[in-house]
Chain A
Amino acid sequence: MFKRILLVACALLLVATCAAFAADAKTLTCIGPWSGAEMEAFVPVLQAFEKETGIKVDYRIYRGEDLSAQLPAQFSAKTTPGDVIFMWSWFIAKQGEAGHALELTGLIKDGDYLPGALDGLKVGGKLYGIAYTGKVKPGFWYRKSFFQKHGLTPPTTWEEFVALLDKIAKIPGIKAPIVSGDSVGWPLSDVTEHFIATFGGPQLHKELTAGTIAWTDPVVKGIFEGRLVPLLKAKRFSEPIEWTQALELWWQGDYGLYFMGSWITGMVKDPSDLGVFSLPGARGIVFGADYAFVPAYTKHPEEAKKLIQFLATKGQEIQVTKGGHIATYTKVPLDAYPPVDRGVAELLTGRVALSDMDDTIGGEFQPTFWDQLKLLWVKPDRCTEVLETLEKKAP
């Protein structure tokens, strides 16, 4: 009797082990930052991949901030929590250089992507990641119904912009004309980059990213002290408020404008009520792409490469249909976009697409940039000190 039980137990164990191996052989883990509505828009992309290849994909949510602490230790131990991981471009390049990311050169064609989209992922000509869809940080969003109700129009000059803020400030019930989104600090850096790209031009934005001009340079200081600080001092921006909460407050009419990326179109109840304008005279617009890579320690390198290739190409077309995303893959047809995103894409026409400054520089500069802007937002008179601190941490 005992022998029979032992035999059955062994057989069950064998079957379970085989099943586990069989399941493991075709299950990839994809790690990305999206949760909630954003995740719901991404999951169909993975489902389409599963349908096409028969390879199962598990999606897990990790923020870049958490991955930056976790991955170096995992990679040192030659292991990885995921087979395809979405992460900052500077981080991917660094891991590629250290041998922790698989080389993807030849997997996708450079010419099929927006100019410069893959630059931050290359080290010595070798490609270590892919550019997925991106989000444009086009400018200030407003509710068309709010503007109509109060007789407001988008500005065409700086003076009109300042006058618009004055008008909004006088509307009863308005807490501040512009709501400032807060998180770890990136919403504030997006606004600041827009001011730099508008009043310093795309070249200044690129030079600051490359570290070839100082943050304390009179030109940079002039933009801060001449444009941004007066608005902060006049309380035209609210104090930093958690960005999803800020979205709700703005939508319900506590604030008139909200500077946010194009993903906002997928987060509001009625996207058709959305309007957006850039700062008058903006010649460059920040385009922040999402990047992914395959860790060198994946157990399924070939399957992972298939997934990342899919994400870089067909996956983008599926993603943009969900709203809030703009493809870096230029073969995605314009009619794949929802109407509101087509409007966002139009804002890019005739303007230089700039890579997100803090995501490109990364390292210690990124959290310093975010944190110093939080200080500037509530203490605009400490602008000089903020710029000096940024200069110390700049590349």
Chain B
Amino acid sequence: MKEKFLRPLFFVPALVLLAAFVIYPVVNTVWLSFLSPDGNFVALDNYADVLSQQEMVDLRGFQRGFPYGALIHNFMWLVIHLPLTVLAGLALAILLRGVRGGSIIKSIVFLGMVTPMIVGGIILRFMFDGSIGIVPGIARLFGGSPETLTAYPETALLSLILGSLWLWVPFGMVLYSAGLETIPSEVYEAAMIDGAKPLSMFFNITFPLLRPITEVVVTMTFLWDLKIFDVVYAATMGGPGGASNVLALQMYFYAFRKFDFNSAAVVACVLMLLTTAVAAPMMIRSAREAR
């Protein structure tokens, strides 16, 4: 009986912290998104206003090229960065499994993951610099023109997406490496006795058994792509001409350059809705499995 009453008591410190640092800011931000700068309730007017801005969605981009707006740029991150990250992480984990010196190579690859993203952004900027960058340098070797790829609207976003692979691929590689260790070797031995080929073993054993890992990698990468800020801030500041702008950076511009906290709250809520939509299925599944 005593335990029954004591148990909830232990939740109190955590609940107080959650209420102060998560629930209150979230509720306040949502509330702020429905208010005008002078504090009047304006329902969805802020949402209509922000989502109709060219910084968010610029349909002219489909005729003249970049920029397409922060929302579409974020989707581009998802479409390009997400599958590449998952595939590259998986490929590295498989290729380096059991290879002599594989753990050293993994450690080197993992350096990208431990590099602060803001530093990663600055490194990216120099990687694509026409004068000293490694990417234009390689292009020069093959007769290409040594242009600063982050300076041009048609290549800026793509440079950041592809360039940031080294910052996030290690995350997938580490998780997949751990996942591969959990697959019993007997399963492969049985398949080999049955005459299965390596490719067939990958698609029928490795990949299905790594499904829980893939779900985590996909979800976390999805969230990373949606909230991407520091890399873009440091490398291009969303430019040129907004060609690499993303939602989180637009939120920053609204909040700290325009001092329009209501519009910033709208972007924050849009981001929150998108991330919740992605994270919710994984959380529900985890809860079910826990039961």
A239: chain B residues within 8 A (beta carbon): 130, 147-148, 151-152
- The answer to whether A69 touches B252 (Cβ under 8 A) is yes
Bound complex: CA A188 to CA B18 (Å): 46
Q: Which one, B240, B255, B259, contacts A363 given CB within 8 A?
A: B259
Q: Are A72 and B257 in contact (CB under 8 A)?
A: no
Any B CB within 8 A of the CB of A112 = no
- Hey, which chain B residues are within 8 Å of A93, CB to CB? none
A68 is an interface residue with CB less than 8 A from chain B = yes
**Besides the known contacts A182-B151, A364-B257, 8 further A-B residue pairs in the complex with CB atoms under 8 A apart:** A240-B148, A240-B151, A242-B129, A249-B131, A371-B238, A371-B242, A374-B151, A389-B241
- In-complex Cβ contact of B241 among A72, A245, A371 (8 A): A371
Contacts of B255 in A (CB 8 A): 69
Q: Are A72 and B259 CB-contacts (below 8 A) given A371-B242, A378-B151?
A: yes
Partner of A375, one of B130, B148, B239: B239
A374 and B259 contact, CB distance less than 8 A: no
Assess whether B256 is interfacial by the CB under 8 Å rule: yes
A370 to B241, CA, bound (A): 9
Residue of B nearest to A241 (CB): B131
Contact B237 A185 (CB under 8 A): yes
User: 1/0 per position for B60-72, CB-CB distance to A under 8 A?
Assistant: 0000100000000
- State the majority secondary structure of interface residues on A: helix
Q: Does A366 contact B (CB under 8 A)?
A: yes
CB of A130 within 8 Å of the partner chain: no
- Note all chain A residues with C-beta closer than 8 A to B153: 375, 378-379
Judge if A316 is at the interface, Cβ distance under 8 Å.
Answer: no
CA distance A376 to B131 in the complex (A): 20
Asked if B132 lies at the interface with its beta carbon under 8 angstroms from chain A, I say yes
Considering only residues 80-137 of chain B, those with a C-beta below 8 Å from chain A are 125, 129-132
Question: Which residues of B (221-239) have their CB < 8 Å from a CB of A?
Answer: 237-239
A178 in contact (CB, < 8 A)? no
Q: How far is the CA of A154 from the CA of B50 in the complex (A)?
A: 49
Given contacts A245-B131, A374-B239, A374-B241, contact A367 B256 (CB under 8 A): no
What is the minimal beta-carbon distance from A338 to any residue of chain B, in angstroms?
Answer: 31
User: Do residues B237 and A184 form an inter-chain contact, with CB atoms below 8 A?
Assistant: yes
Q: Given contacts A239-B151, A242-B129, A249-B131, is CB(A68)–CB(B237) below 8 Å?
A: no
Q: How far is the CB of A307 from chain B (nearest CB, A)?
A: 27
Are A367 and B151 in contact (CB-based, < 8 A)? no
- How far apart are B122's CB and chain A's nearest CB, in angstroms? 10
- The tally of CB-CB contacts under 8 A between chains A and B is 76
Partner of A371, one of B129, B131, B239: B239
Produce 1/0 per residue, A337-378, CB < 8 A to B. Answer: 000000000000000000000000001101100111011111
* A245 CA / B252 CA spacing, docked (Å): 28
Q: Would A363 and B256 count as touching, CB distance under 8 A?
A: no
Residues in chain B near residue A366, CB distance under 8 A: 257
- Neighbouring B residues of A371 by C-beta, 8 Å: 237-242
**B residues neighboring A (CB under 8 Å):** 54, 64, 125, 129-132, 147-148, 151-153, 237-243, 252-253, 255-259
Q: For B130, list chain A residues within 8 Å (CB).
A: 239, 241
What is the interface of chain A, defined by CB distance below 8 A to chain B?
68-69, 72, 94, 182, 184-185, 239-242, 245, 249, 363-364, 366-367, 370-372, 374-379, 382, 385-386, 389
List B contacts of A69 (CB < 8 A). Answer: 252, 255-256
Give CA–CA (A377, B239) in the complex, Å. 12
CB atoms of B241 and A379 under 8 A apart:
yes
Question: What residues on A are CB-neighbors of B238 within 8 Å?
Answer: 371
Q: How far is the CA of A333 from the CA of B147 in the complex (A)?
A: 47
Q: Determine how close the nearest CB of chain A comes to the CB of B179; give it in whole angstroms.
A: 39
How far is A72 from B237 in the complex, measured between Cα atoms in Å? 20
Q: A240-B148, A240-B151, A379-B153 are in contact. Are A367 and B242 (CB under 8 A)?
A: no
Tell me which residues across on chain A come within 8 A of B240, comparing CB atoms. Answer: 240, 371, 374-375, 377-379
On whether the beta carbons of A378 and B152 are closer than 8 Å, the reply is yes
Residues of B within 8 A of A94 (CB): 259
Taking the nearest CB of chain A, how far is it from the CB of B55, in angstroms?
A: 9
Distance of B18 from chain A, by nearest CB (Å): 21
Q: Known: A72-B259, A371-B238, A371-B239. Is A364-B253 also a contact (CB below 8 A)?
A: yes
With contact pairs A372-B241, A378-B153, A378-B240 given, residues A363 and B257 touching in the complex (Cβ less than 8 Å): yes
CA distance A321 to B37 in the complex (A): 47
Q: Shortest Cβ distance from B101 into chain A, in angstroms?
A: 36
Nearest residue, chain A, Cβ from B148 = A239
B156 vs chain A, min Cβ distance (A): 9
In the complex, chain A residues whose CB is within 8 Å of the CB of B64 = 382, 385
Show 27 A/B contacts (Cβ-Cβ < 8 Å), sorted by A. Answer: A69-B255, A185-B237, A185-B239, A239-B130, A239-B152, A241-B129, A241-B131, A241-B148, A242-B129, A363-B258, A363-B259, A367-B237, A367-B257, A370-B239, A371-B237, A371-B242, A372-B241, A374-B151, A374-B240, A375-B239, A377-B151, A378-B151, A378-B153, A379-B241, A382-B64, A382-B241, A385-B64
Which residues of A lie under 8 Å from residue B131 when comparing CB positions? 241, 245, 249
Q: What's the minimum C-beta distance from A190 to chain B, rounded to whole angstroms?
A: 17
Task: Take A239-B151, A249-B131 as given contacts and tell me if A68 and B256 are in contact as well, using a CB distance cutoff of 8 Å.
Answer: yes
Q: Which residues of A contact B257 (CB under 8 A)?
A: 68, 363-364, 366-367
> In the complex, are the beta carbons of B241 and A375 less than 8 A apart?
yes
Within the complex, the shortest CB–CB distance from A97 to chain B, in Å, comes to: 12
Rounded to whole angstroms, the CA-CA distance of A389 and B53 in the bound complex is 12
Please tell me if the beta carbons of B253 and A367 are within 8 angstroms of each other in the complex.
yes
In the complex, how many angstroms separate the beta carbon of A256 from the nearest chain B beta carbon? 16
Nearest-CB distance from A382 to chain B (Å)? Answer: 8
